[in-house]
């Protein structure tokens, strides 16, 4: 049997209003978007599993995660001195349509970590199929990544890299700890769709998207 240990918050995940009778609840956590009244669960829940399983093989875990096909983005921001920063990231995902939210995650030991942690705005540059060199450049360390890169200032000067498939300009909504990464949730404020084929990434290699008839 699994035991759930609530570390923060005073109550569990309550879908039914009836289940709340007599409980003190924090109404600020009542979700207005759900079809039925839904109270957000506590911030952190850990699961103590008595089932003994062998430790995960890190290489096999990478292989398994690599079977999930993603796009490739460069997340851009300005550092404390107003200098452009950019990092290749395929952890980007859509999160919510109303309000419009997206999420991506950054390794805690990335050199540019402080810049992103302090930046109130960032842009998601979704790379096009012909931008493998741009992806490699923004995944390289110890170089000026913007050297030779054509870009335009977006909202508040955050760089938008030329030639991308699309752009999302975001304000930082929140950050959340996630193991050896930090999650960044952004509120989308402006978008541009350029109708170029996107670059894909799978199993550690770049890939093309081949559309199929559904």
Contact residues toward ligand FMN (CB under 6 A) are 72, 87-91, 105-107, 110-112, 135, 139, 141, 201
Q: Which is nearer to ligand FMN, 13 or 139 (CB)?
A: 139
Q: Which is nearer to ligand FMN, 39 or 186 (CB)?
A: 186
| Smallest distance, ligand FMN to C-beta of residue 113, A | 7
Using CA atoms, how far residue 193 sits from 6, 124, 135, 167, in Å, is: 43, 12, 19, 7
Tokens found for residue 115: 């810049």
Closest CA to 134 of 56, 76, 208: 76
| Smallest distance, ligand FMN to C-beta of residue 30, A | 32
Backbone torsions φ then ψ of 45, nearest 5 degrees? -125, 130
DSSP state of 41: P
| Smallest distance, ligand FMN to C-beta of residue 183, A | 10
Q: Which is nearer to ligand FMN, 102 or 106 (CB)?
A: 106
| Smallest distance, ligand FMN to C-beta of residue 31, A | 28
Q: Which is nearer to ligand FMN, 106 or 170 (CB)?
A: 106
Separation CA 117–CA 107 (nearest Å): 11
Give SS3 for 197: coil
């Amino acid at each position: 049997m699994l035991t759930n240990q609530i570390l923060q918050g005073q109550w569990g995940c309550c879908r039914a209003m009836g289940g709340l009778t007599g409980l003190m609840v924090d109404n600020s956590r009542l979700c207005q978007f759900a079809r039925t009244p839904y109270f957000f669960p506590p911030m952190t829940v850990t699961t103590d599993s008595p089932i003994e399983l062998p430790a995960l093989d890190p290489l096999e875990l990478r292989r398994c995660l690599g079977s999930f096909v993603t796009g490739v983005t460069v997340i851009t921001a300005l550092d404390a001195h107003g200098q452009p920063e950019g990092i290749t990231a395929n952890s980007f995902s859509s999160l919510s349509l109303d309000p419009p939210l997206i999420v991506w995650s950054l390794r805690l030991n990335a050199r540019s970590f402080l810049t992103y942690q302090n930046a109130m705005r960032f842009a998601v540059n979704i790379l096009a199929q012909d931008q493998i060199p741009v992806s490699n450049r923004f995944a390289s360390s110890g170089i000026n990544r913007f050297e030779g890169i054509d870009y335009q200032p977006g909202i508040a000067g955050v760089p938008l890299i030329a030639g991308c498939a699309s752009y999302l300009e975001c304000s930082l909504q929140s950050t959340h700890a996630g193991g050896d990464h930090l999650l960044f949730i952004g509120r989308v404020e402006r978008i541009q769709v350029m109708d170029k084929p996107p670059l894909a990434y799978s199993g550690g290699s770049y890939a093309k998207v081949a559309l199929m008839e559904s």
